[in-house]
Amino acid sequence: MVRFGIVGFGLHAVRRLMPGFALAQRCRVTALSSREMEKARESAAAYKIPQAFDSTAELCQSREVDAVLVTTPNALHLSDVLTAIEHGKPVLCEKPMAMNASEARQMVEAARSAGVLLGVAHIFRFEDSVARFRERIAAGQIGRPIFARSEFSYLGKAHARKWLTDAALAGGGPIGDVGVHCVDALQHILQDRIVRLGARGMWDKESGGVEAAAVLALEFERGTLGSVMVSMRADYRTPVEFVGDEGSLRADDGLTVDHPITLELRRSGKVVETEEISNKLAYARQVDEFADAVEGKAPFPVRGEQGWQNQEILDAAFRGLKSGKIEDVPQVA
C-alpha cells in the first residue's frame, strides 16, 4: 500500500482526488499540505488524513509519505517537484506540468539525475473512453484518420480557482488549463505526435492577463489535421471526434468523468454502432498505476518526458497567439 502526500490540498483534491483515492485499491492518502496551517488541519480532519503540513519540504520529510502528488498552482510546480525529488520521493505532478518547457526540462533532468520516478497527472489517459477511441481507431474502424477534434469548455467567471486568470500563477488561460488535456488525449488516441500548430485567442475584461478562449489548428506527423477549441466562457462540454476515410467516431462529452457517455461509430452519415462507456474509475486508476510504478510492478504510462513534450506544444501555442504564424513544435527525445 503506497502512502501519498498531497501538496496544495484544495478544490481539485476535494472534487476529484479524494473520491478517486476512495476507490483506489493500492494506495491511500496519509498527509497533505496547504499554505495555511489552520486550513491544512481542517482538511486533514475532514478527510481523516493523519498528517497536515504548511510546507512541501515538511511533507516530503515525513516517514509516512511514500509518494507526493503536486496539485498547487502552476507557478509552484517547479519548486514543489524539485523539493520532492531532493527528498527522494516519487512525484506525480498535476497538468500542465510547468509554466514553460524550460521548467519541465529542469524537472525531468533532476528526476533522471536522482533516479526518482516523475509522472504527470494527465487524467484522461486513464479513461475507458480514451482507451476505446484508441483501440477502435488502431483497429481501422474509421480507416485512415483525416481529422481529429477535441473541445473543452467550462464557465470560469466565478470559478473557485481564482488564480486561473493570474498570468503569474497560471501561465495562460484555458490553453494551459484544459487545452493540454485535449492535445495529450488526441496524441495518445492517434498514437501520433503534433509537429506544427497555429493559434487564435479571445480576451475579455474578466480574463485578466490570460486568454478567455482559443482555437488551435494542429498538424500531426502522419498527416492528420486536428483542432482544439477551449474556453472559460461556455457551458461545460468535452466533445471528441475522429473522421477517417471510412467512417467517424465521436462522443459528446467524450472526456467527462461525471456521467456515462455514448461513443458513436458513423458510416455514410448514419450511426451504425454505439457503445456506452463510464470513466468513473479514472482517478482511482491514475493513482493506483502510479503506486504500481513506485513499487516497481509496472511503468507509469505518463512519464515526465511526455509532460515536457506537452509543454512544448503549449509554448508553441502561446507563441502562435503572439505571432499569428504557424509554429513548429520541438520534439523531446
> Burial code of 118-127, b = ≥16 C-beta within 10 A, e = fewer?
bbbbbbbbbb
3-class secondary-structure state, position 21: helix
Task: Provide the pLDDT for residue 163.
Answer: 81
Q: How confident is the model at residue 161 (pLDDT cuts 50, 70, 90)?
A: confident
Q: For cell 513534450, what's the residue?
A: 309
The structural domains of the chain, with segments of one domain joined by +, span 2-123+283-302, 125-279+312-328
3-class secondary-structure state, position 83: helix
Q: pLDDT digit string (tens) for 91-136? A: 999 999 999 999 999 999 999 999 999 999 999 999 999 999 999 9
Domain 2-123+283-302 has CATH 3.40.50.720: yes
Radius of gyration over every alpha carbon of the chain, rounded to an integer in angstroms: 19
Q: Quick check: 90 pLDDT over 80?
A: yes
Query: What CATH code would you report for 125-279+312-328?
Result: 3.30.360.10
Q: pLDDT digit string (tens) for 265-318? A: 999 999 999 999 999 999 999 999 999 999 999 999 999 999 999 999 999 999
pTM for this model (two decimals): 0.96
Yes or no: say if 254 and 278 are a contact pair by the CB < 8 Å rule: no
What is d(CA 180, CA 55) in angstroms, rounded to the nearest whole number? 28
DSSP states of 274-321 as a string? EEEE--TTHHHHHHHHHHHHHTTSS--SSBHHHHHHHHHHHHHHHHHH
Yes or no: say if 119 and 37 are a contact pair by the CB < 8 Å rule: no
Q: How confident is the model at residue 180 (pLDDT cuts 50, 70, 90)?
A: very high
Q: pLDDT digit string (tens) for 12-47? A: 999 999 999 999 999 999 999 999 999 999 999 999
